């Protein structure tokens, strides 16, 4: 912790004078995911320097650091900011960059990496960095909930309960998510929500309501498989409360990409929505637990964040895309083992 504090202090000292050239700030969250982070800094220097960037590096010490660092970089004329972490780090960093035109890069090393996966950014760290070095960018939408931005998904109900449980775990990574989901399911009670969008109002007892800018929660769990991140709309998925067999089938469809055809689901697109519930309670923004009001105002903000992405956008195909992504994940794990050896 002391070492990381020194890193942040050094970075702030270096930023006393405004910088006007092609500076890139790499923000590394040392506790995200389960992998070691030592290789990231040299990798980014090696690949982004020939791409025309001068690389500065800062490590986060606590929640909120990535936002403070990215704000400072924006104020000091940095041209690109890269977050190495999971969706929480991506959220904290990206929210400081919306509307600035500063290029935002993701090196996915979190537990879920939902936004990176949606954008087609490789899970292999070298491949993800090589992709940034190609300098291809698009402007993506983001969503807000009572003024708080999210880039991947926002949810209330079961997914919020899982993110609350996950945040208390000492170990991060996929396995901790699975453990949290099982332990929350046992005591979970669905609530009644009233949702108003596109001039219609509906009231129902739901297992969860997910509002999606991107197609997945992370770990290839496709809660809105056909969501576009550049259409100015949010995909709203309501999962009805059902019995354990219904829920298990929704779970299967979540990973095969067929959730939209499951009879327990109601899904639609809207540029904005309001959800009412009986009381203030838990929710999650990009997997980070928050407590929010009984009245939840949701909006889409089109084309606000400039992100490094692959040049070609892939169309989602049920079964095929999940299998392709699983294979590519295995490749990333193997390459990690190979590099550390
Ligand atoms: N040095 C630190 N010590 C403790 N927490 C930190 C530190 N730096 C950042 N954080 C917080 O760690 C949390 C988790 O980070 P992040 O979401 O990137 O990883 P993850 O949860 O493993 O991945 P994902 O969100 O993809 O599931 C964030 O809320 C972030 O604010």
Candidates 268, 267, 264, 266; CA nearest to 249 is 264
pLDDT of residue 337: 73
Regarding the domain delimited by 2-141+303-340, which CATH topology (the fold level of the hierarchy) does it fall under? Rossmann fold (3.40.50)
**Euclidean distance between CA atoms 110 and 132, whole angstroms:** 18
> Quick check: CB of 317 below 6 Å from ligand 1?
no
Pick the atom of ligand 1 nearest to 172's CA: 22
CB atoms within 10 A of CB 294: 11
> Quick check: CB of 92 below 6 Å from ligand 1?
yes
CA of 268 to the centre of ligand 1 (A): 31
> Quick check: CB of 117 below 6 Å from ligand 1?
no
pLDDT of residue 173: 80
Q: How would you classify residue 86: left for phi > 0, otherwise alpha for psi between -120 and 50, otherwise beta?
A: beta
**Euclidean distance between CA atoms 41 and 43, whole angstroms:** 5
CB atoms within 10 A of CB 270: 19
CA of 85 to the centre of ligand 1 (A): 7
CA of 274 to the centre of ligand 1 (A): 29
Provide the token pair at 47.
């690949």
**Euclidean distance between CA atoms 68 and 290, whole angstroms:** 19
> Quick check: CB of 31 below 6 Å from ligand 1?
yes
**Euclidean distance between CA atoms 126 and 44, whole angstroms:** 8
pLDDT of residue 335: 79
CA of 282 to the centre of ligand 1 (A): 18
> Quick check: CB of 88 below 6 Å from ligand 1?
yes
Tell me which residue has its CA closest to atom 30 in ligand 1. Answer: 63
Question: Which residues have C-beta within 8 Å of that of residue 285, sequence separation ≥ 6?
Answer: 91, 145, 148, 149, 150, 154
Strands (E), 2-117: 23-28, 54-59, 80-85, 103-108
- What SS3 class is residue 242? coil
> Quick check: CB of 122 below 6 Å from ligand 1?
no
Dihedral (Cα; 109, 113, 119, 122), 10-degree rounding: 40
> Is 148-301 a domain of CATH 3.20.20.70?
no
Question: Which residues have C-beta within 8 Å of that of residue 228, sequence separation ≥ 6?
Answer: none
Residue 275, judged by CB atoms within 10 A of its CB (0-12, 13-18, 19+), counts as: buried
> Quick check: CB of 69 below 6 Å from ligand 1?
no
> Quick check: CB of 33 below 6 Å from ligand 1?
yes
Q: Do the domains spanning 2-141+303-340 and 148-301 agree at the CATH topology level?
A: no
The C-alpha R_g of the chain, in whole angstroms, comes to: 20
Pick from 2, 6, 11, 29 the residue to mutate for probing ligand 1's pocket: most ligand atoms within 8 Å of its CB.
29
Q: How far is residue 20 from each of residues 54, 74, 76, 310, 325, measured CA to CA in Å?
A: 11, 11, 7, 27, 39
Tell me which residue has its CA closest to atom 7 in ligand 1. Answer: 62
Strand-strand pairing, 200-212 and 191-197: antiparallel
Indicate the DSSP class of residue 260: G
CA of 86 to the centre of ligand 1 (A): 7
Strand-strand pairing, 103-108 and 80-85: parallel
pLDDT of residue 3: 40
> Quick check: CB of 172 below 6 Å from ligand 1?
yes
End-to-end C-alpha distance for the chain, whole angstroms: 27
Tell me the pTM: 0.92
Distance of CA 13 to the CA centre of its chain: 30
Pick the atom of ligand 1 nearest to 87's CA: 25
> Quick check: CB of 157 below 6 Å from ligand 1?
no
**Euclidean distance between CA atoms 22 and 55, whole angstroms:** 9
Pick the atom of ligand 1 nearest to 63's CA: 31
Candidates 179, 89, 94; CA nearest to 144 is 94
Average pLDDT, 10 consecutive residues per value, the chain (341 residues): 43 44 95 92 97 97 98 97 98 98 97 96 96 98 98 98 92 86 93 98 97 97 98 98 95 97 97 97 97 98 98 92 93 75 49
Q: How far is residue 62 from each of residues 31, 69, 87, 92, 195, measured CA to CA in Å?
A: 9, 12, 15, 11, 35
Tell me which residue has its CA closest to atom 17 in ligand 1. Answer: 88
Residue ranges covered by each domain of the chain: 2-141+303-340, 148-301
């Amino acid at each position: 912790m002391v070492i990381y504090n020194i890193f942040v202090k050094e970075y702030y000292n270096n930023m006393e004078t405004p910088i006007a050239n092609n500076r890139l700030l790499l923000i590394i969250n040392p506790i995200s995911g389960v992998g070691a982070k030592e290789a990231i800094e040299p990798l980014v220097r090696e690949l982004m320097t020939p791409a025309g960037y001068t690389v500065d590096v800062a490590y986060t010490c606590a929640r909120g650091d990535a936002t403070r660092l990215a704000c400072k970089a924006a104020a000091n004329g940095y041209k690109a900011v890269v977050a190495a972490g999971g969706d929480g780090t991506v959220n904290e960093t990206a929210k400081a960059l919306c509307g600035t035109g500063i290029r935002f890069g993701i090196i996915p090393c979190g537990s879920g990496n939902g936004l990176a996966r949606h954008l087609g950014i490789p899970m292999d760290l070298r491949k993800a960095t090589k992709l940034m070095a190609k300098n291809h960018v698009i402007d993506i939408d983001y969503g807000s909930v009572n003024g708080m931005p999210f880039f991947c998904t926002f949810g209330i109900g079961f997914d919020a309960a899982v993110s609350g449980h996950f945040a208390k775990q000492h170990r991060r990574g996929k396995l901790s998510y699975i453990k949290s989901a099982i332990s929350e399911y046992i005591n979970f009670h669905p609530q009644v929500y009233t949702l108003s969008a596109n001039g219609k109002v509906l009231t129902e007892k739901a297992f969860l309501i997910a509002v999606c800018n991107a197609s997945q929660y992370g770990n290839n769990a496709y809660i809105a498989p056909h969501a576009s991140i550049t259409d100015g709309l949010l995909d709203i998925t309501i999962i009805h409360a059902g019995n354990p067999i219904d829920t298990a089938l929704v779970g299967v469809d979540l990973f095969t990409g067929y959730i939209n055809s499951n009879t327990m689901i109601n899904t639609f697109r809207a540029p904005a929505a309001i959800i009412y519930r009986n009381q203030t309670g838990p929710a999650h923004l990009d997997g980070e637990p928050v407590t929010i009001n009984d009245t939840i105002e949701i909006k889409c903000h089109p084309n606000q964040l400039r992100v490094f992405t692959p040049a070609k956008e892939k169309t989602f195909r049920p079964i095929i895309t999940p299998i392709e992504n699983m294979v590519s994940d295995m490749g990333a794990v193997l390459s990690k083992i190979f590099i550390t050896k």
